[in-house]
Structure 1
Amino acid sequence: MENNESGIRVRRSLRELEDLYDSGTPAPLENLMLAWKGIKELPVNDPNSLFTIGGYHGEPFRDQGATDGNYWGGYCNHNNVLFPTWHRVYLYKIENALRSIKGCEEVTLPYWDETEHESLSKGMPWSLTREQVSIRGHMVDNPLRSYKFQIAINDNVNNDNSTYSKPAGTDTVRYPYSGLVGTPAAKAKSDKHNSQFSASQGTNLLNGNITGWLNKTVSLPDIDKRLQLGGVHVLYTLCLDAPNYTVFSNQKSAASWNMIPSKDPVVVALETPHNDIHLSVGGFNIPGPNNPDFSPIPGANGDMGENDTAAFDPVFFFHHCNVDRMFWIWQKKHDFTNHFQIIPGFPGTNSDDGGPSAGYPKNEPLTLDSPLKPFLNSATGTFYTTRECINIETQLGYVYTVGSLDLIHWMHGEELAAQEKLTTNKLRVANINRGNIFGSFVLTAYATVDGKEHYIGHHSVLSRWNVLGCENCRAHLKTEAYFNLDKINPDLSNFRIEIIGREEAQPLLNAAIADNSIVMEII
């Protein structure tokens, strides 16, 4: 929680702070909690308030996206090359806000190390889930558990039916609860659903769901272990092998790279395990044939499960801090700590890919010099750009402690070139139109081997609630998924896909599968 001897901020894992707290050094975690309490209580028009900063990501929507579903009304960038760097500066913004609270000037933003042993076995750190915590000898409501909306947020997007409106006094929620309260009918339904679970039951279900997503594996000897896709732990590990920044950064670019004819294994984007964590916290069960229920708990709609209000839940920032840590690990592994390139004109390098987000026109090329709105660089008086946040140490002044999947020394050059190259057939699943889907969803692929169906991977899509009728979405938000097959017989009759979405979207998803509009092919 302090600066190192060079004056650089040190971001530690949440469980490091918990261990200090439990061993008699509570100040680092207590100060973090006091800082969060402080920004949650600031007036909503204060630039350092959680209401203001949380609202940058999605709601309250702005510009044309406030009412027009052809635009995204939040500033966040997803499904394009600005995804890692926009969120990197976003974290820097909220960290500075936390440090603005009196007595919390040395606070840094910790990361939830999602692939460490404790997370894999227990789920979310206790500091994010306990109802009450002791701060300086007093039991108080846990500031990291939720956020209570100080004023109402109104969802006015066409055809959205006020789904994500939030009356003043509404609390953010996580799986298995529902936060859909935008209409009296929706609130009554959510209240009835939420009454099924005590706080302890809710936490246990949440952690059980998270560990399922983290640990999901492919258990099929026909696929080499190094080619097996699966849960968050596997996907974070595989994304570190992405060959360049463009395809590492987002799902759109990775899908286009995977479509290039070759026998190279599937490239996994950083955005992919990121999406999985959002859905595990927000309201989807881990997919797979060994689960008794492949769908969400009926009625579970946590805020982290859609982009609209995800950033009002404090866990959003601890999750994204880990995503940024993985970004930095990838940079170190590939010797890109001071530079990387964006492939001009490649899919995922246009504002229409995933947007356009607030402040961006349609069809604008995205480059290293594209503005990361709305974040102003105080040194220049202009918006930050990707070029200005490549090196977290020299440009932004922070470092991470060494957590899971990180190394002190990474191989480069000839050492990497000497590693064995794997080859494989891939299953491509395409022509999935997000313009026909309410909210986030999960696509799961199965292969039949020796008469038995096996899970071979899944692809999760974190989306906004309403893209129905959005012509831009139809043109630019098509979803594709790829799965390594290795020695599996490539006859298409051996494969089946399943798409699970929100309750309102499921009939459309089932119809799309039934009418064979979704394409499967072997490449």
Structure 2
Amino acid sequence: MSATLRVRRSIQDLQDEYNNGNKKPLEDVMRAWKGIKELPPDDPRSFFVLGGYHGEPFRGAGWGNSQYWGGYCNHGNILFPTWHRVYLVKLEEALRSIPGCADVTLPFWDETSTASTTNGIPSALTQKDFVLDGQTIPNPLRSFVFPRGIVDHLSPIPDADYSKPEGYETVRYPLSGLVGTDADKAATAAHNAQFPNYDTNVGLLNDNVRNWLSETVIVDGKPVGGGHVKDKYTACLNAPNYTVFSNTTSAAQWFDDHGQRIVPIESPHNSIHLAVGGFDLPKIFDASPIDGANGDMGENDTAGLDPIFFFHHCFVDRVFWLWQKKNGFTDKLEIIPQYPGTNSVDSQGPTPGTAANSWLTLESPLDPFKLTERGKERPYTSQDCINIETQLGYTYGPGSLDPHALLAAAASAAGSGRTISVRGLNRARIRGSFLISAFANVDGQRQHIGTEAVLSRWHVDGCANCQTHIEGRAAISTQSLGVAAARITADDIEVQVRTRDGLLGSGPQTRAMASLTAAPGKKPFKVELR
């Protein structure tokens, strides 16, 4: 390894060093984050600008144009890992531009570590205050106060607005940050009044994250599976090619074509967004769920404006690099031409700078990020960021999911059990992100088999191109049931779609939910056991 490589370390390691007396590494990270958050909102290095590239405030052709997704982020297509990789580099460059922070690197939240599965989110990302240079300051990593308001210009639905005002502070589970209309403000105020204690709220957040990471299924009184998100991260290391590793759209098509369930890196990534942003993992009996939580990490529109987004994506990028090393793709990536997930309108609309209905390749621009070569600027492409060490000058320090130690575990996690296929769900009128969960009646007991998190935008119907790729799908393995999986039939399966407006097809419904409800006696989606 070159001595010149900058090393991205686990935030837990920095936190442990701090507690053992070596305070400078974590203090420098805090100082850098404080610095970019305090830059003027027009400064290209400011957190407001960088965080806003992901979704709101909508830029470029995305502003008010329903032909475009809005923000620059890529989801549901092959550019998902590479676009976010360059995004992290640009954020890291901004951190290093702050005086005294030239050696700072972006740490990763090691989400599958024992510390995370036991304790939840590292406290450096959640503690209320931090002592820096002898002064107690608000922890720069726990939230962000908007220096300007953001306006949702893409809302065609009356009384449904995702705008947020100047001075708004980002929130996480169990709180709500939905404040776009008077009705939303009132509902959010009433909801948040139930959770007045910051430390108690952090405890609820950590409980929720632990559940998402390590839920265990009990059959015959014994744990037989689980590790919901942790197992997904492990399983994605076995994806056979970059196309299906990279995104949910391609992986869903691979299942149709080959009958092989592949876990793409985008799947566990989505789950953590929703765990932090506002969905608790469905319980076997739905005991005491916290409804009404609408944290910023849970929607594409504002996810990038919560600092934890970048520590989460740093881990996702690390898993991407581990997959590359494990499978021999450190210097090249291969794309299946014209496969689902390789078009600019797959799952979301095209991003600004990308023409509608165009084929995506490793040469597609990763707007808005620019690379300077021989004194000239050009857009980054995926070809510029395949090898993080030789092309981008960084690598990752120790952490969980080491590919050499986990080859056998990865193979086991991929599994060969049957799969519950859910398809035909019309997501056009679902506000924001949602969950597709599968349950089974196993020997007279209802068991939660698994949940697929769908990270979406608050107004999918504000994107015209999204309407042509509107199907919500999931492929949920029965492997978590162990040997009991062989005993279940299609009649034992129950699928539940949980949205911001409640369970699909049950209870009081908003107009949006009512539009999804099928005719009496007919399910609003198709379920198969394959």
What CA RMSD, in Å, does the superposition of the two structures yield over aligned residues?
2.6
Distance 1:240 1:409, change over 3 A: same
Deviation at 1:42, TM superposition (A): 0.5
Task: State the Cα distance separating 1:282 from its structure 2 match.
Answer: 0.4
Post-superposition Cα deviations, 1:430-464, rounded to whole Å, max 9, x if no partner, equal 00122121100000011223232222211110000
- Equivalence for 2:397: 401
The answer to whether the 8 Å contact 2:452/2:474 transfers is yes
- How far apart are residue 378 of structure 1 and its match? 1.7
- Work out whether 1:139 is the aligned partner of 2:132: no
1:269 aligns with 2:268: no
Provide the residue aligned with 1:94 in structure 2.
91
Pick one of 249, 256, 279 that aligns with 2:274: 279
1:174 aligns with 172
What number of residue pairs does the alignment pair up? 511
Change (3 A) 1:373 1:24: same
SS at match of 2:472: strand
Mapped contact 1:69–1:158 kept (Cα < 8 A):
no
Q: 2:434·2:500 contact (CA, 8 Å) conserved in 1? A: yes
| TM-aligned CA deviation for residue 397 of structure 1 | 0.4
Q: 1:292 maps to which residue? A: 287
Residue 188 of structure 1 is matched in structure 2 by 186
CA distance in structure 2 between the aligned counterparts of 1:84 and 1:422, rounded to whole angstroms: 24
Letter of the aligned partner of 2:212 in structure 1? W
Given that 2:145 and 2:168 are in contact with CA atoms closer than 8 Å, whether structure 1 keeps it comes out as yes
Tell whether the 8 Å contact from 1:206 to 1:281 is kept in structure 2 after alignment: yes
1:30 aligns with 2:23: no
Between the aligned partners of 1:504 and 1:163, the Cα distance in structure 2 is 18
Give TM-score scaled by structure 2 length: 0.91
Listed one character per residue, the Cα deviations across residues 310-359 of structure 1 (whole Å, up to 9, x for unaligned) are 11110000000000001001111101111120110111000001221222
Is contact 1:79–1:251 with CA below 8 Å preserved after alignment? yes
Q: How does 1:286-325 map to 2 (within 5 A)?
A: 286-293=281-288, 297-325=290-318
Q: Give the Å deviation of 1:409.
A: 7.3
| Structure 2 equivalent of residue 119 of structure 1 | 116
2: CA distance, partners of 1:472 / 1:449: 41
Quote how far apart the aligned CAs of 1:485 are: 3.9
Is 2:421 the partner of 1:428?
Answer: yes
How has the CA–CA distance of structure 1 residues 522 and 97 changed in structure 2, closer, same or farther, with 3 Å as cutoff?
same
Structure 1 residue 110, shift from structure 2 partner: 0.1
* Aligned counterpart for 2:70 among listed residues 70, 73, 88: 73
Between the aligned partners of 2:448 and 2:76, the Cα distance in structure 1 is 25
List alignment gaps of at least 5 residues for structure 1.
none
Select the residue among 507, 518, 521 that pairs with 2:525: 518
Residue number in structure 2 paired with 1:82: 79
CA 1:501–1:34: 2 relative to 1, 3 Å? same
Question: How far did residue 185 of structure 1 move?
Answer: 3.1
1:194 to partner: Cα distance: 1.4
Name whichever of 34-43 and 502-511 sits farther off: 502-511
Quick one: which of 357, 366, 384 aligns to 1:363? 357
Deviation at 1:70, TM superposition (A): 4.6
Matched AA of 2:181: T
Q: 2:491 aligns with which of 490, 493, 496?
A: 493
Alpha-carbon offset, residue 496 of structure 1: 1.1
Measure the CA separation in 1 of the matches of 2:90 and 2:206.
29
Deviation, structure 1 residue 259: 1.4
Is 1:388 aligned with 2:394? no
TM-superposed deviation, 1:154 = 1.1
Change (3 A) 1:409 1:493: closer
Distance of 1:219 and 1:205 partners within structure 2: 23
Report SS of the residue matched to 1:185.
Answer: helix
The answer to whether the Cα contact below 8 Å between 1:377 and 1:384 also exists between their aligned partners in 2 is yes
- How big is the shift at 1:424? 3.6
Given the superposition, is the C-alpha separation of residues 422 and 72 from structure 1 closer, same or farther in structure 2, using an over 3 Å criterion? closer
Q: SS at the partner of 2:389?
A: helix
- What residue identity is the alignment partner of 2:524? S
The 1:425–1:126 alpha-carbon spacing in structure 2 relative to 1, beyond 3 Å, is: closer
2:201 maps to 202
Alignment partners' CA distance in 2, 1:70 and 1:189: 32
Give 5+ residue unaligned stretches, structure 2.
480-484
Q: Are the counterparts in 2 of residues 181 and 190 from structure 1 also a CA contact under 8 Å?
A: yes
Summarize the alignment of residues 447-466 of structure 1 with structure 2, pairs less than 5 Å apart.
447-466=440-459
Tell me which residue corresponds to 2:433: 440
Structure 2 counterpart of 1:396, one-letter code: L
The residue that corresponds to 2:482 in the other structure is: none
